[in-house]
Amino acid sequence: MFPHSRESDPDMTHPSAHSGAAALRPLTNRWLVLSLLVLIAVLNYADRFLLSGMAQPIKSAFGIGDAMMGLLMGPAFALLYTIFTIPAARLADTRSRVMIIAGGCAVWSLFTALSGMAADAWLLALARVGVGIGEAAYQAPAAALVAAYFPIEQRGKALAMLGTAIYFGQIAGLAGGPAMAEQWGWRSAFYALGLTGLIVAAAAALIIREPQRETVAGSAPVAPPLAAVLRRIVATPSIRLIALLMAFGMLSGMTFGLWGPALFERAYGLSNKEAGSTFAFTFGLPGLVGMILFGALADRLARRSQAAVLGLGAASIAATSTLILGIVWTDSLALARALAIPAGLLGGGWSVGVLATLQYLLPNALRATGTGVVLLISGFLGSVIGPVLAGQMSDWVADPASGAWGLRIGLSVAMPLAYIGAWSGWRAMRSLERDRAALHDGAEG
C-alpha cells in the first residue's frame, strides 16, 4: 500500500482554492507553463538532432566511421540518460518538478556548449554523456507537471503541444545547425544552443510555480519505498506492454530521425546543409500537423475509451514504419517527399497516445516514477541500441562505392522492430482498465 497524495485541482489558480490559502502562492497560468515546457523541449530535441545534422562534418573533422558516429548519437548520450531517468523521476514524485526540469536544462546546456570545444571524438563522447545526464531530468517530470496543471480531458491536447517540440527541435538541429556550421563552423552551433538553454533554464525556474501537493492529513508527500514502487510497476501487465510499445516505437523513429539526413545526403547527392534542411522540413511539417491532430483526436477518444487512444498510437507507429521503409529504399527524392507526408501525419503523434494513457493509468504517487521506468526501457532500446545497430550494419556491408547501400541495410534491420511495439500496444488495451483500478486502489489503501 502506498501513501495517498492529493494534487491541487489543475483548474485552481488562486490561493483561495486551497486549504491554508494564506500560505500558498497562485499558480502560474497553465498555458504559460506549457509554453515554457515546449521551449525547453525544443532545446532538448534540437541538441539531439544537431549532432545528426552535422554527422558528415564531424566525421570529417575527427576521421571516424558510421559505427563511431552511431556511438556518439546513441550510447554516448543515451546510456546515462536512461540510467538517470529513474532517480530524476523519483525526485519528481516528492520534490519540485520545476527545479528538477530547470536544473536539468542548465546541465545539458552547459555540456552542449562543451561539445563544441571537443578536440577529438572521445572528448565529444564525454560531453554527450553530460548532455544525457541533464536531459534525463526532463521528460518524466515534465509529463507529471503537465498532468498537475491540466485536467484529464485536456491532457491529450497539452501533451500533443509538448510533443510538437520534437519537430521544432528537429528543424532547429537539422536545418539551423548546418546553416550555422556553413557560416561559422560546426562548433558554433553547439555554443549558440548551449547559451540559449542556460537562459531558458533560468527563466523557467523564476516563472513556473510548483503546484501544491499534500497528503490527506495535510502533511508533505511521502514517497513509498522505491523497491515497492518498482515491483508494483513491473508487475502490472499493461505497463510492461506499454513500455515495449514505447521502446520499439522509439527505436524505429529515433534511428531513422538520427540517420535520415545522412541517408538523404548519400542517396540523393545533397550537400550537408541541403540534406539537413530537406529532411527536417519534409518530415517535420507533416509531423507537426500530425502531432496536433493526434492530440485533439486523443482528447475526443479519451471521453469514451482511453484504450482506444492507445490502440490508435499502436496502429500509427506500425503504419509509419511501413511508409518509412519505402522511403529508405526509393531512389527518387520526389517519392521520398511524397511518402513523408502520410508518414509524418500518422507518426507525428503516436507517442502522445502512449504518454496520455500512461498518465491515466498511473496514480499521482507513482506517476513520475512509473513514467521514468517506461522511459528508461524505451530510451535504452530506442536511443542506445537503435543508432548503433544501424551504424554498425552500415559499416559492415558498405564499401566506398556503395553510396547509401550500407545505411539502407542498417535502417532496414532496425525499422521493422516497430511492429513488435505495435503488437504490444494492442495487447495492452485488454488489461488497461483492470490494471488502472488495481493501481489506484493500491495507492489509496
195/112 Cα distance (integer angstroms) = 9
In the chain, the percentage of residues whose pLDDT exceeds 70 is 87
- Crossing angle of helices 97-115 and 30-53, in 10° steps, is 20
What pLDDT sits at residue 16? 35
* Sign of the C-alpha dihedral computed for residues 384, 385, 386 and 391 taken in this order: positive
Report which secondary-structure segment, H or E, holds 213: strand 213-215
Of 7-16, 126-135, 219-228, 315-324, the range with the lowest mean pLDDT is 7-16
Residue ranges per domain, the chain? 23-444
Helix locations, 54-96, DSSP H: 55-62, 66-73, 75-92
Of 3-12, 179-188, 223-232, the range with the lowest mean pLDDT is 3-12
The three three-digit cell numbers of residue 364, written as one number: 499521482
pTM for this predicted structure: 0.66
What angle (nearest 5°) sits at the alpha carbon of residue 133, between those of residues 131 and 138? 90
The identity of residue 349, as a single letter, is G
In CATH, the architecture of 23-444 is Up-down Bundle (1.20)
Q: Are 265 and 59 in contact (CB under 8 A)?
A: no
Helix locations, 269-385, DSSP H: 272-302, 306-329, 333-347, 350-361, 367-379
* Three-class SS state of 285: helix
Task: Express each pLDDT in 376-396 by its tens digit.
Answer: 777 777 766 777 777 777 777
Averaged pLDDT of the chain: 79
Phi-psi sector, 438: left (phi>0), alpha (psi -120 to 50), beta: alpha
